[in-house]
A and B are shown apart, each in its own frame.
Chain A
């Protein structure tokens, strides 16, 4: 029965199928719809409904319960004059800029060196070594770095004392001037697993002959890097950058665990402000409006990024 719907290269069967009237075709495909019922229902309830609810409720004052009345674009206007939100946006832009560079350059160089090794066994082991920190639960990364920045017994301050730089010890997370830098360096020497593996995959697909002919032409490490390796992995680099950008814009567990936006709101980011608006102050409408702004920003960023990389590839 179902086999009639299976996509097959012979066009004749397909044609006859699409000529029968729509209700009949729908009826014949009933088992297929049944198979899709659970996932489609789940997506509608747990994904689409909340997404539209966010769009809709961003125009309302809403405490998540009975208090619910229309205010139009007031939340968006409020955002323009909200000082916390402005700090949050500034923090986020700096943070994302820094993290995108760090989370692309670092894995790229590590991958470049691993690919350059002649010994296959060693390059396999280095991959495992640099992917290893992934077994540590994400929250532990933050808790470990909280320990590193601890003003009394932190690794960083103890290390500075050990090498005789006591004057530079600092309450890294407690000082509004250093807190964002400290947060930007959380997980620092550890490579971002996904980005690292994507870039590594790109470098591995560059054919050996390309490198060999470059070597014959007398290209050294740096020339090869800038004229072969980076251009040929542009797509993977772009993907790694987009991923970092999207992760960093919407994930706020780092900020929640390390500082909760403090001291004051010097390490606030929009996603954390969304969380606090909703779950501390019960301003679900304002939270939804922040969510909508973040969504639009992320969509725009992704599109621009894809356009730019597509344009660069076309040239």
Chain B
């Protein structure tokens, strides 16, 4: 299954044509995919913010943003510019260093996790061997940033919000990791590329969602809880805690939290589509399309077609999930903190453990369906 465009190789050969050594070419190459992915993440946030405004308006029978661009598509940019030029305030009694470091510690791990998101066979920043485990490890850093900003704000609402955020993300990380483990068990690999390739056998029929329906639901609930989206947005519950750990923040520091939470939402949607919905795979296998068009799988046309379909499919699946998340946010009430912790520890944790055990048993019983 080693096909697909290798842009890095082409780019390096192109630079070597100018007489540069391969090391220099590699150094010039390294920042390019990172910047591209950062750009994609920020554009993704703008699109998601617009969707959130429009869908929430539709859910509440309003029109929503209308005047900034056609259908208000420029509204998120206006929001961003407003936050960018606002005054940066550090409260007098706050702890300046921790207050500034908090938002950074929240945002950086989320952006780093994009390292492992593949948009195609070779379309990712780095195919690290530990793949999905890197994301689990990185997402566990976030609560430190939340606790830090909650503490540094010197405000009891902030502190409560930070403590709630940490408690929530600790309790939901375990079922999340266990449901990922069931997928890894079926794939025999932690790499996201291998996880998608293992689902690409028979198009839509071989997606993991059919083999891991329980894991899919557990993962999605936990991902929403990790993103602090509305059924689980206790850390920033407006009616009780003003805005939780964000209460004292303004301007660009607040924007970092905002950006972090939306990038995290898109990242979670992308990871659900990679783990359970076949990643960049088209519902019909590409090999069949190539056979139908009477072209070999290595033909340049098919290569470009595969890569474009891959990107479109990944983004489409991710945004379908983002749509569901937004709809959930504007139609469901918030759970109480004890209900949240009960759900995490007494329901999701046993269910994901049983799911892991059953997956292991099925893998031994039917190795051809559950990965040998």
Q: Do A and B bind each other?
A: no
Chain A positions within 8 Å of B, measured between CB atoms, are: none
